[in-house]
Chain A
Amino acid sequence: MNYNKRIWARSMLAAAAVAAVSGGAFAQGAPIKIGLLATLEGPFAAGGADGMRGAELAVRQRGGVVDGRKIEIIKASSNATPDVAVNSARKLVEQDKVDILVGPLSGGEGIAVKDYSKSQPQVTFINGASGAQATTLVNTSPNFFRFNTEGAQWMFGLGKAAMDKGYKRTMIIAEDYAFPYSQVQGFMAEYCRLGGKVPLKAWVPLGGKDYSSVIARIPKDVDALLVILGGADAVNFLTQYENSGGDKPMMGGSITVSQDVLNYKGKRRDSLVGTISAGPVADSFEGAEWKAFVADYKKNFPVSAGGFPSPSLFAYVYYINMKAALDGLDAVDGDLSNNHAKLRDTLSKMVLKTPNGDVRLDSNRQAIGTTFVTEVVKDSRGELTTKVLRKVDNVDQTLGMKKEDFKMGTRDEPNCP
């Protein structure tokens, strides 16, 4: 694992570049600086590191050059809290003077960085992996783009899959911040319409670690649990639930059964088999572009070098957002004049080719894309992976509802006890 060394080397390089390059920074041939912000600390540390790999892959695929100009990546870390994310974004924008910023990773961070982007019109912000609805739904920022679908879109389709499995009553256990609110809405929008009931929702603090109290509250008469916890917290919940004698089937949020959770170090992974979830990626999707992407990821970041056996959601989402930045830059021949006017126009209109199909942006610069409903299975080598149950294309941010009927997900909305 030498990315820390690399970060150091890059920050030194960046410092040297800032010192050496003065007014001529925008001249033809000068490097284009892209800031890369992800969580290398806190609950999403593993996911953040993989997000960085994904973004790096997009740069490597172009050989680190767009239209004859070198792409210089400057990395910064946060810990999944909005204030730290904004501080890191500030450092990238105001000290390192990046042209484009790709990030951040987590929902609340995304909203905070979007708000910050309004005060920095000379920089184009492209989302990392954050998936809160509000980021592109209320108070939108003209220079913040999101080429990934968000939390609610990622869960669209799971409601039907749950009913198909015969789960008529579900308890929801989710972390108490914007992203899980969206995820719950994406699930419930369909689930409630089909007649499913959600008698109890437990909102737990992010990074709480000890879920024994919530486990004690699980009612006897529910058929299944929908667990929307990320990274380390999902692992803790599973262990504690199993140890306390729990045996209800589980459904997962989009980041609950991501690769970094499926591959945690330790033995008790078998209880995850059969878990259904939904998200923008599926390891076992048979699309040719997806397979090429996975192969490229594995070649660049083999397991021996710290990569995952298959790219995580974070790697994929950072990859497509970075790819959007580079494709956009290529389309405008690196023209960043007039506050990136040409680049932004191109980004708003372009059809981005991603490993999972085409992505377009809506009028709020939010992606319209594909969602997969998946089930966790064990492959022939004993590794856990996901199997595609259903592929839903063209999921938009209002989940197929009319704009005026659509209410943003909160703790209590939607509700069907």
Chain B
Amino acid sequence: MTKGERLVTAIVVGAPIAAFSIWALLDNPRLYLVTMLNSLTLASLYFIVASGFTLVFGLMRNVNLAHGSLYLLGGYVGYVVARDTGWWILALAAGFAAAAVAGLLIQVLILRRMQGQDLRQTMVTIGLSIVIADVLLWIFTGQVYQMEAPSWLQGPIRDIPVIKAYSAYRLSLLGFGIAIGLFLWWLLNRTKVGAMIRAGVDDRAMLAASGVNVNLVFAVTFMLGAGLAGFGGVIGAVELSMVPGEDTRLLLASLIVVIVGGMGSVVGAAIGAAILGLAETYGLAYAPTYSVVFTFVILIIVLAFRPRGIMGKAA
């Protein structure tokens, strides 16, 4: 993009947003700010789930459509652990571990047998998502599972200027999102495994040729991606509850996030999640009837002007 084009984009996109923000701030500052917080916290959840999805895609060119089911699996396992032990932190670890192990098994036992056949792998993950969702329905039934937040995160934080009161747990989502983001940045940019993953994203064949055990890198990445979905599941089980059908909802959200943000880019996932969170939440606050439309309008605009997503690179 040239400088002029960039300026035009900034005006076309920025001006309506700025105008809306000024109007909304004058009209009802509390609603605007609360909605801002709501958007960013929801975006954090989307980011946690979608970052795993985008990592796996970036490295293996494999759209893991069972990602939503791993979210659900993590949430249910987390619920059971929290109920039996009373430790929410332990539930987080268990949700991560359960989904990571499931992801590892999927990668080693199934996907490795069809290495390089992207379409076949994708079809298999659709099948797996249905199997996992039905097994979970069989075990946990269609009941709504609402997980308790740990006592130190329960209830509202009061006496915040303008906003007055805000849910403590919800605010903590923002912290989780940022922490996961920093962790992924550290992992990808400061460790050897990260270097291998980045190299694999750019050129798989060269990575293998230079003597790296690609299978191991794939397994680790898939495990991490799946684990992040499970981790998101435990967090989501508190705020949004667990019920059959959540898997497809989060899968759809992840797909939109990575399409908008750019497949394979963690920074893209963060940007995509923020855009999706903002669009959904502001839509719901200011035009509830049409809130679903905004998400897809953004998707269409991004695909029209940046077909590979905002941070996407040519394959």
**Chain A residues engaging chain B, CB cutoff 8 angstroms:** 1, 4, 40-43, 45-49, 79, 176, 202-205, 207-214, 216-217, 231-232, 235-236, 239-240, 242-245, 260-261, 263-268, 306, 411
Residues of B with C-beta under 8 A to A176: 288-289
The answer to whether A204 and B284 touch (CB under 8 A), given A212-B38, A216-B34, A239-B241, is yes
> How many angstroms from the CA of A260 to the CA of B243 in the assembled complex?
12
Residues of A with C-beta under 8 A to B289: 176, 203, 411
Cβ A210 vs Cβ B281 within 8 A: yes
The answer to whether A42 and B244 touch (CB under 8 A), given A212-B38, A216-B30, A264-B146, is yes
Cβ B165 vs Cβ A268 within 8 A: no
Give the shortest distance, in Å, between A39 (CB) and chain B (any CB). Answer: 9
Q: Nearest 9 pairs between A and B by C-beta?
A: A45-B142, A266-B146, A245-B165, A245-B156, A213-B285, A243-B167, A212-B38, A216-B34, A213-B284
The answer to whether A205 and B291 touch (CB under 8 A), given A232-B144, A239-B146, is yes
Q: Is the interface of B mostly helix, strand, loop or mixed?
A: helix
Residues of A with C-beta under 8 A to B34: 212-213, 216
Q: B20 at interface (Cβ–Cβ under 8 A)?
A: no
Cβ A267 vs Cβ B148 within 8 A: yes
Residues of B with C-beta under 8 A to A209: 240-241, 249
Residue of A202, A214, A244 with highest tally of chain B CB at under 10 A:
A244
Cβ A236 vs Cβ B240 within 8 A: yes
Q: B69 at interface (Cβ–Cβ under 8 A)?
A: no
Give the shortest distance, in Å, between B313 (CB) and chain A (any CB). Answer: 32
Cβ B245 vs Cβ A216 within 8 A: no
Residues of B with C-beta under 8 A to A264: 143-146, 241
Cβ A213 vs Cβ B141 within 8 A: no
> How many angstroms from the CA of A1 to the CA of B168 in the assembled complex?
37
Residues of A with C-beta under 8 A to B35: 212-213, 216
Cβ B144 vs Cβ A260 within 8 A: yes
The answer to whether A216 and B285 touch (CB under 8 A), given A4-B134, A260-B143, is yes
Residues of B with C-beta under 8 A to A265: 79, 143-146
Q: B123 at interface (Cβ–Cβ under 8 A)?
A: no
Cβ A46 vs Cβ B138 within 8 A: no
The answer to whether A4 and B138 touch (CB under 8 A), given A213-B284, A243-B167, is yes
Give the shortest distance, in Å, between B29 (CB) and chain A (any CB). Answer: 11
The answer to whether A266 and B142 touch (CB under 8 A), given A79-B245, A210-B240, A244-B156, is no
Cβ A205 vs Cβ B288 within 8 A: yes
Cβ B292 vs Cβ A205 within 8 A: yes
Q: Name the contact of A214 in the complex, choosing from B42, B145, B169, B284 (C-beta under 8 A).
A: B284
- Contact residues on B (Cβ < 8 Å of other chain), bracket: 35 or more
Cβ B241 vs Cβ A235 within 8 A: yes
> How many angstroms from the CA of A239 to the CA of B240 in the assembled complex?
9
B 25-49 contacts with A by CB, 8 A: 30-31, 34-35, 38, 41-42
Please count the residue pairs between chain A and chain B whose beta carbons lie under 8 angstroms apart in the complex: 148
5 contacts between A and B (CB under 8 A): A41-B137, A213-B35, A213-B288, A240-B239, A265-B79
Q: Name the contact of B245 in the complex, choosing from A43, A203, A267, A306 (C-beta under 8 A).
A: A43
Residue in chain B with minimal CB distance to A204: B288
Cβ B156 vs Cβ A212 within 8 A: no
Q: B282 at interface (Cβ–Cβ under 8 A)?
A: yes
Residue in chain A with minimal CB distance to B289: A203
Residues of B with C-beta under 8 A to A1: 138-139, 141
Residues of A with C-beta under 8 A to B158: 245
Residues of A with C-beta under 8 A to B137: 4, 40-41, 45
Q: B170 at interface (Cβ–Cβ under 8 A)?
A: yes
Cβ A45 vs Cβ B169 within 8 A: no
Cβ A213 vs Cβ B281 within 8 A: yes
Residues of A with C-beta under 8 A to B143: 46, 260, 263-265
Cβ A207 vs Cβ B245 within 8 A: yes
The answer to whether A231 and B284 touch (CB under 8 A), given A4-B134, A42-B245, A207-B249, is no
Residues of B with C-beta under 8 A to A79: 245
B 135-190 contacts with A by CB, 8 A: 137-139, 141-149, 154-156, 158, 164-170
Residue in chain B with minimal CB distance to A40: B142
The answer to whether A46 and B167 touch (CB under 8 A), given A212-B38, A214-B284, A239-B146, is no
Give the shortest distance, in Å, between B75 (CB) and chain A (any CB). Answer: 12
Residue in chain A with minimal CB distance to B285: A213
Residues of A with C-beta under 8 A to B167: 212, 240, 243-245
Residue in chain B with minimal CB distance to A263: B143
Residues of B with C-beta under 8 A to A47: 142
Cβ B243 vs Cβ A43 within 8 A: yes
> How many angstroms from the CA of A244 to the CA of B146 in the assembled complex?
16
Residue in chain A with minimal CB distance to B164: A245
Residue in chain A with minimal CB distance to B133: A41
